Homo-oligomer: A and B are copies of this chain.
C-alpha cells in the first residue's frame, strides 16, 4: 500500500480523462513543474497504481463486429479443474477477458467474432470443447459505455 495525497489523486483523475497528457501539460494544469509532475507519475507507475497504458481498439473496424459475454459453470470443481480450464481458455485468441468469479457462474468470458456464423464456429470448436464446462449462458453486446470509475 502506498500513500496517495490529493495531488496524486488529481493527477490520476487528469490522466484517466486523457492518458496522452504530457508531464509538462499535466504540471501546468496542476501548478507543478514538469519534473515534479513527471516524478509523481514515475512514482505512481513504480507502485503500480498505474499498471500500464492500454490501447483501446475499435473491434468493429478490425472486422470483429460481434461481442458475446459467456457465463460458464464448471462441473467438477477441483483445483485441477480450474487450472485446466484457465490454461485451455487462454489459448483461444477470440477470448478477450477471462474473469474468475464467485456467484451464479464460475467464469465469465468476453469473446469477439467476425459475425454470427464465425461466433458459432468459435462456440462449437473452441468453447464447447473446453474441459469441465457444465453450462453456458450467453449475452450479445449491443452497446457499451465505459466510465472513469472512482479515484479517491
Taking A100-B144, A150-B94 as contacts, is the C-beta distance between A139 and B108 under 8 angstroms? yes
A101 CB-CB contact with B under 8 Å: yes
A101 and B150: CB pair below 8 A? no
* Assembly CA distance A128 to B105 (angstroms): 22
A52 CB-CB contact with B under 8 Å: yes
Write the residues of chain A forming the contact surface with B, with a CB cutoff of 8 angstroms.
Answer: 1-2, 4, 12, 15-16, 19-20, 47-59, 61-64, 69, 71, 86, 90, 93-105, 108, 112, 137-147, 149-152
Query: 12 other contacts beyond A86-B145, A100-B144, with CB at 8 A cut-off?
Result: A48-B58, A51-B57, A62-B151, A71-B139, A93-B150, A98-B144, A99-B143, A101-B139, A101-B142, A102-B139, A103-B140, A105-B139
* Assembly CA distance A64 to B1 (angstroms): 12
CB-contact partner of A56 in B52, B63, B139, under 8 A: B52
Smallest CB separation, A52 vs chain B (Å): 5
When distances are taken between beta carbons in the complex, the residues of chain B under 8 Å from A1 are 61
Q: Looking across the interface, which residue of chain B has its beta carbon closest to that of A12?
A: B57
